[in-house]
Chain A
């Protein structure tokens, strides 16, 4: 956020607080005496560092990407300081290069990595099961089932990390991160780092050194498996009804308890390495064993490989969230019990979809309104609010893959295209935060490889999609304090774009924006158009006088609707026959002046000048910022 964030005194020890999983992790990180906490925003993990930034006595930062955040945490751990980084599932893909070698060096100061899986894809481009990283990197995985456990396991993880010199993966899911529950909190314990010790065999990962340390990973797996067997985080509840027993971790445990309160359950809080002995004990207790896991068939496969018969994904869904209502009938069916049909009243009613929209006055509307009018282009996109340009009414984005991919994909299309695509112009769209996260390398690759791509760099001075976090180009740090402001035009030039091919435009100025894009796509050289206007979420955005539609002047052409602003509403539709004999549907509109913040975008395509400022005396008070 651009606003300066107050650092309030944290609530005292022994309070019971209503905390989300994210807030609970943050509190535990602070109490554990952590000195460095780093992250790049990403749903559902963003609020961990956001809330940590309000605690005193630690360095919290927005890093430019997840890989850097992990490296920062590792560096801190090398000094013996306790360190933490947090990311969403796809963030760990970015950080994985660090992870896979960091596991060999191990941790010195307690080092915890929180990774949040967006189970059910509430706000992500894919669904991934981060528990795999525990196997791949030979790292212990902890899986809390609610806020209280998120707090406790985080506290446990730091000491554990130091004891076994291992980074610890704290695996969260959306239903942990964004669910609030009561948490009994404690006091902070300071943790003074013992100091960096020169030790090249450990910290300089060249083949000779890594080779001597890799056997440690296998040794650690064995040690931790024994620890897991005895761990109080892995609880075997004997239950009373032994027809079916469950192995469950994370939120899945709650679903099991709710649907089958009397069944035996092995709750895995320390889910990797998992305890084979305890699973065998459970299997011996019950007639059938069901592994309940989100999202992939991971534990189930490993348990079967250990020679223990079990069910799981043969009856449960392989993607999305589980719930007691999914679990109950699936297991009843497995047991051959009758499954009552859901009552008819419980069928959902048919209602139109309501996808997220760009905000009224969002500068991205100007970009997509313009792109929708240019023919013969391929537009590669990226991740952020501006991904919505792929939707209605613009339909102006042709690709979206992962952070920064717009650049590489655009160059690949340029180099790979055949004769059919020869006359098309290639435009790569990217947001400012995404550009600094992973787009700069891709742009350098375009200039180096002489690509013919026009880049639209949407500089709204923030990370809009995740709620408006500062970036190196916004001149603010995580606390809203001044920070050095990187000049995007200079960065772009340094990456090899010719000075005369760098244009800075205002996305609210449609004619200039249109002309600039038209001119630049004609040039056979990489060019970058920086479209600069603040996102409405941040302080730099100052609302303007709202507009209204003069009813008698509106001809129903519907041009303004094509801007895609949620403040514009159709009041009446009418079918008319044109002199040419063609039937057209007219749509007469008004503007909700409580929602309009006066960007003026819709005014520009209105030929009869029907869109006019609201008279000053009628301006709602709440939109005039002081």
Chain B
């Protein structure tokens, strides 16, 4: 297989959470670094609440856009049970970064299915490397829940095969139109996301860490 120089990142969550936009920004960063990039979009069903995954592959030359189970370096989960659902996509030494939001669908509320007791705990028990954090309360502490997605991007920033600055620059570019204040808030959210993960992995965010 010619997958060796390819980075596979799987972003998962629920319709309406911003999974696609986050992956889009990750893709822009990979392009800025000179990589060939393929990113799947799962559009269609307009309704909220369905499962959403976005596959991002980058490297010298990317062929198939689909990520195969067991080949993901970093899984960025926007919701606990969704991270669990896709955890078999991780490589044995892959890393899962999971926002511990719990979004319970109507089929569970109706008593037809159970929501897993402790999704990230279950992942750990299966031998996965998992870091979980609460992106929404981090964002709320910064004064704006909408910064949650930038917190998520901060969380993954030090586990990409390029400098976190590249990703930050792409975020800044997106928000530049909205003025200095918005940009600053996003910088803070990005830093907070990096810190939340670094705190748990016991390493200070280093500039050129690779996954």
A and B associate: yes
A325 touches B87 (CB 8 A): no
A18 touches which of B39, B88, B145 (Cβ 8 Å): B39
A18 to B25, CA, bound (A): 11
Complex Cα gap A207–B3 (Å): 58
Residues 145-179 (chain B) with a chain A CB within 8 angstroms: 145-146
Given contacts A178-B42, A393-B106, contact A324 B50 (CB under 8 A): no
Stretch at the interface among B110-118, B180-188, B194-202, B203-211: B110-118
In the bound complex, how far is the Cα of B106 from the Cα of A148, in angstroms?
41
What distance in Å separates the Cβ of A395 from its nearest Cβ neighbour in chain B?
11
Cβ A356 vs Cβ B88 within 8 A:
no
Cβ-neighbour of B47 out of A20, A321, A349, A359 (below 8 A): A359
Contacts of A362 in B (CB 8 A): 47
Tell me if B47 and A354 are in contact (CB < 8 A): no
* Min CB gap A574→B, angstroms: 12
Q: Are the CB atoms of A179 and B40 closer together than 8 Å? A: yes
Could you say which residues of chain B place their CB within 8 Å of the CB of A565? 106
A346 neighbours in B (Cβ, 8 Å)? 69-70, 88
Number of A-B contacts (CB under 8 A): 190
Which B residues lie within 8 Å of A622 (CB)?
A: 145-146
- In the bound assembly, the distance between CA atoms of A18 and B87 in angstroms comes to 28
Is A111 among interface residues, defined by CB-CB distance under 8 A? no
Tell me, yes or no, whether A259 is within 8 Å of chain B by CB: yes
Q: When the two chains form their complex, are residues A464 and B122 in contact, meaning their CB atoms are under 8 A apart?
A: no
Q: Which residues of A are found within 8 Å of B82, using beta-carbon distances?
A: 351, 354
A352-B115 CB under 8 A given contacts A20-B41, A182-B31, A254-B64:
yes
* Known contacts A347-B88, A352-B81, A353-B113; A18 and B37 CB within 8 A of each other: yes
> What chain B residues lie within 8 Å of A175 (beta carbons)?
40, 65-66
B contacts with A, residue count (CB < 8 A):
60
The answer to whether A349 and B107 have CB atoms under 8 Å apart is no
Q: Which of B24, B28, B43, B85 contacts A47 (CB 8 A)?
A: B43
Mask, A188-210, CB within 8 Å of B = 1, is 00000000000000000000000
Inter-subunit contact B66/A180 (CB<8 Å) = no
Main secondary structure of the interface of A (DSSP, over half): loop
How many chain A residues touch B (CB < 8 A): the figure is 67
A352 to B108, CA, bound (A): 8
Q: Which A residues touch B69, using CB under 8 A?
A: 325, 342, 346, 348
CA of A166 to CA of B146, assembled, Å: 51
Q: Which residues, 344 to 371 on A, are CB-close (under 8 Å) to B?
A: 345-349, 351-360, 362
Q: From the candidates B3, B44, B122, name the one contacting A122 in the complex (CB within 8 A).
A: B44
Give complex CA distance A328, B194 in Å.
38
In the assembled complex, the Cα of A325 lies from the Cα of B66 at a distance in Å of 10
B31 to chain A, nearest CB (A): 6
Of A20, A123, A257, A566, the contact of B48 (CB 8 Å cutoff): A566
* Contact (A356, B49) CB under 8 Å given A346-B88, A349-B85, A570-B109: yes
26 contacts between A and B (CB under 8 A): A43-B45, A46-B43, A122-B42, A123-B44, A178-B41, A178-B44, A181-B62, A254-B65, A257-B63, A258-B3, A258-B64, A261-B1, A321-B66, A349-B126, A351-B81, A351-B116, A352-B108, A355-B50, A355-B107, A356-B45, A356-B48, A356-B49, A356-B50, A357-B47, A561-B106, A566-B49
